[in-house]
Amino acid sequence: MNEIPVGSKARIVNYTQHDSFTERLREFGLTPGTIIRLLRKAPFNGPVEIQFRSSRIVLRPNEVTHMLLERIA
Amino acid sequence: MPSIPDAVPSHTPRLTAALVGTPNCGKSTIFNALTGMRQKVGNFPGVTVEPKSGEVHIDKITTRLFDLPGMYSLTPKTPDEALSVAVLHGEHGALPKPDAVVFVMEGTNLEKSLFLYAQFAALNIPTLVAVTMIDGIKASGGVFDDIAMEQALGVPVIGIVGHKGIGLEELREHIALRGFSRPEAAENHIPVGEGIEAQYEWARALAGEVAHTPELDSLTTKLDAVFLHPVAGPIVFLAVMLLFFQSIFAWATPVMDAIEAGFGSLQNLVDTTLPAGIAQDLLSRGVIAGVGAVVVFLPQILILTLFITLLEDFGYLARAAFMVDRVMGVFGLQGRSFIPLLSSFACAIPGIMSARIIASEKDRLTTILITPLMTCAARLPVYVLLITAFVPSTMLAGFLSLQGLVLMGLYFLGGLSGLLVAKIFKSTMFQGTKLPFLMELPPYRFPTWRSVFFTLFHRTKQFLTSAGTTILTLSIILWALGEFPKHQAPPEASPIQAASLQLEHSALGTIGKTLEPIFAPIGFDWKVTIGVLGSFAAREVFVSVMGQVYSVDVSESDENLRTVLRSAISLPTALSILVFYVYALQCMSTIAVMKRETGSWKYPALAFGYTLLLAYGASLLVFHGARSLWG
């Protein structure tokens, strides 16, 4: 997540761990195969806002370590 | 299409229905529309954290309706979700398992709602689906196919536009006529137990079939480009705060003066029409001076409510949480804690309750413990009274009022101290596992005038009710304690001298003087001590005690309470009082809610203890610091 530049897209390949947090991410609709766009980063290494389909969510990139992403654009 | 029975037998048993849906999908708006109640609504996930109950009446048929907190799935991650899931399983101690469910779906984000439905269908409860914001689907050139949806879900589907009232009558009729059916009636298979991925696949396919919605609402994208901009965002945030604190003094003063004048003439009327004696004294110096001193602050309370309501309804609150997450992280908390903390600026009680949206128990307890340090509305009268009395109304740079800045400083002092305390708690008793931060940003919505008006009306009613009950009772008790036992003043004493001698020798005076030594080091004389002690019942009582204690001075000198206070209290003492109120937890209701939400007396006791310690320590520092500076 840290390596994706603002404005670009990525596809969720898989989750490398299953816990209640990754379960919640999937329940939000971040299922494998979903394409996300990184909308913005908060200053000073703060949280990021991502968009997928008709949702916008914010999370801390360094806490999303178990989401395997593939850059697509 | 599932049909509605034409007639319901008159002996129809009373039905209990629950409103279920994802967070922030508009359940509370529908609840209010159906029951005619005025539950709090807002535009952020987690407005409703406790089930609310109401009744829907139509053609003499009564249905009991529960508004449940929103949930993303049937595997709860936060306490408010766990509560809703327990109710649906019939495992909640106090609430019955609902006979039927009104499942609310967000028209502009159907996927998520349909995903929840795929899990919910396993319970096979008689259901009725209400799809909100169908105008949003149509505005974007989409179509909403309710018939296809009914076939796929197996239950009746009604499209609704909540703020315009479209579809609500149909919904009421369906509820009254028991127009529910079980999800098992679906024509095709619903993947109830097949895992999140299969359920989302189903939800996406169906959403694409029944409604075409745009990917994102473009207004929200444009506004976020400014509000969440790394530079412009914080500037807007600060400007909004500045505007708020400025308006407290700039806009409220004229109204405040008018209310004050009104109570003044009421007091004169009582003094001139009633014969001198106990009755006149009780009314004029007890009731009017005591209650009036508090009611004067209604404009400020309303400005505060207006600001918080607009921020909540507009959808800005979640943005603010995003922007401050980094700062919160420094203190071991996360952006989610910001929402309960911000609510606490109105009142700590809803703040403590909304901490239920925090998944981590340690974070939730830490947040609850620091809510009393967020400046609540009850402190506002105390602050404004002392600030207008002691801080000159100078304008800095032509537009920034010094009084507004001092007020802002007090709010920041409380907020920053709260965060520091959180840091201490997080690195001692609540050490360990950090749960990740995850939050949805809702689309912006313009608040309806109706909802803003009702919130303000409700707040006014609440404030005046409290002034007419709690404050009135305390004012009468304090007046009586100040009036008895009677002291005979020497004949040569002026009315002011006589009144002050009476107070000094009364029961109240005795209490104040006995406890004065405890508060003397922080600069409180026995009169202030009485006010501070009375505040432990409700903070506004300080203002009402000052109103009573100095009521004779006010009426004799034709000045208002603020000018009288300026000569009666020294500046170091005034500063010391202000700092004391920043920290002290003087609120019975907060303590009771803390006990309920944490399930133990340990946390309210801890909160009461540490805030008192902080209050006394900080006042000691400020009082002596100020005295050495200004003699």
**What average pLDDT does chain B have?**
85
Would you state the pLDDT for residue B369? 95
Q: Are A36 and A52 in contact (CB under 8 A)?
A: yes
Q: In whole angstroms, what separates CA A6 from the centre of its chain?
A: 12
- Say what the pLDDT of residue B294 is: 81
Q: Which residues of A touch B112 (CB under 8 A)?
A: 28-29, 55
pLDDT at A73 over 70: no
What single letter denotes the amino acid at residue B241? M
Between the alpha carbon of residue B522 and those of residues B516, B576, B577, B624, the distances in Å are 10, 7, 8, 8
| Residue B472 near residue B445 (C-beta atoms within 8 A) | no
Q: Give the chain A residue nearest B74 (alpha carbons).
A: A27
Closest approach of B298 to chain A, Cα-based (Å): 37
Q: What is the pLDDT of residues B44-80, one digit of tens each?
A: 676 777 778 888 877 778 888 888 889 999 999 888 8
pLDDT at B271 over 90: no
Which residue of chain A comes nearest to B435, CA vs CA? A21
Tens-digit pLDDT profile for residues B17-32 = 999 999 888 888 888 8
Instruction: Categorize the per-residue pLDDT at B10 as very low, low, confident or very high, splitting at 50, 70 and 90.
Output: very low
pLDDT for the residue numbered B615:
96
**Contact B326/A46, CB-based, under 8 Å?**
yes
Chain B residue with Cα closest to A57: B440
Radius of gyration of chain B (CA): 28
> Which residues in chain A have Cβ-Cβ distances shorter than 8 Å to B204?
53
Contact B437 A31 (CB under 8 A): no
| Cβ–Cβ gap A54/B197 under 8 Å | no
Average confidence (pLDDT) over B333-339: 82
How close, in Å, is residue B324 to chain A by CA atoms? 9
Of the segments B123-127, B140-144, B552-556, which one has the largest average pLDDT value? B123-127
E-strand stretches of B44-126? 52-58, 61-67, 100-106
**Chain A residues within an 8 Å CB radius of B230:** 40-43
Which of 1-40 (A) contact B at CB < 8 A? 20-21, 23-29, 31-32, 39-40
Distance from CA of A33 to the nearest CA of B (A): 10
Question: Which of A32, A58, A64 is the closest to B441 by Cβ?
Answer: A58
pLDDT at B611 over 50: yes
Residue A49 in contact with partner chain B when CB distance is under 8 A: yes
- Looking up tokens 């974007």 gives B140
Mean pLDDT of B479-501: 79
Cβ distance A24 to B438 less than 8 Å, yes or no, reads yes
CA distance, residue A14 to nearest chain B CA (Å): 12
Q: Contact B610/B594 with Cβ under 8 angstroms?
A: no
Asked if the model's pLDDT at residue B163 lies above 80, the reply is no
What residue in B sits closest to A43 (Cα-Cα)? B230
- CA–CA separation, B541 and B537 (whole Å): 8
Higher pLDDT, B10 or B310: B310
**Of residues B251 and A11, which shows the higher confidence score?**
A11
Higher pLDDT, B362 or B135: B362
pLDDT above 90 as % of chain B? 26
User: Nearest CA of chain B to the CA of A16: how many Å?
Assistant: 16
Evaluate if residue B621 carries a pLDDT over 90.
Answer: yes
pLDDT tens, residue by residue, B449-473: 877 888 888 888 888 888 888 888 8
What confidence score (pLDDT) does residue B434 get? 64
Q: How far is A22 from chain B (nearest CA, A)?
A: 10
Give residue B367's pLDDT. Answer: 93
Residue B8 pLDDT greater than 60, yes or no = no
**More confident of the two residues A18 and B486:** A18
Q: Are B174 and B156 in contact (CB under 8 A)?
A: yes
Residue B216 and residue A51: Cβ atoms within 8 Å?
yes
Residues 6+ apart with CB under 8 A from B237: B320, B323
pLDDT of residue B182: 92
pLDDT of residue B603: 94
pLDDT of the residue at B6: 44
Per-residue model confidence (pLDDT) at position B7: 44
Higher pLDDT, B608 or B589: B608
Of all helices (H) and strands (E), which one includes residue B129? Answer: strand B127-132
* Domains delineated in chain A: 9-72 (2.30.30.90)
Lowest model confidence (mean pLDDT) among B62-66, B182-186, B511-515, B560-564: B560-564
Most confident segment among B261-265, B419-423, B468-472: B419-423
B1 pLDDT exceeds 70?
no
- Residue B523 is predicted with a pLDDT of 92
* Nearest residue of B to residue A23, measured between CA atoms: B196
Highest mean pLDDT among A37-51, B38-52, B157-171, B597-611: B597-611
Concatenate the DSSP letters of all residues of B171-238 into one string.
HHHHHHTT--B-GGG-SS---TTS-HHHHHHHHHHHHHHHB---SS-HHHHHHHHHHT-TTHHHHHHH
Check A49 against B322: CB less than 8 A apart.
yes
**Interchain CB contacts (distance < 8 Å): A and B:** 107
Pairing of strands A9-15, A35-41: antiparallel
Question: Comparing C-alpha atoms, which of B91, B166, B101 is closest to residue B136?
Answer: B166
pLDDT of residue B36 exceeding 90, the answer is no
If one compares B113 and A42, the residue with the highest pLDDT of the two is: B113
Of the candidates B12, B39, B16, B15, the residue with the CA atom closest to the CA atom of residue B27: B39
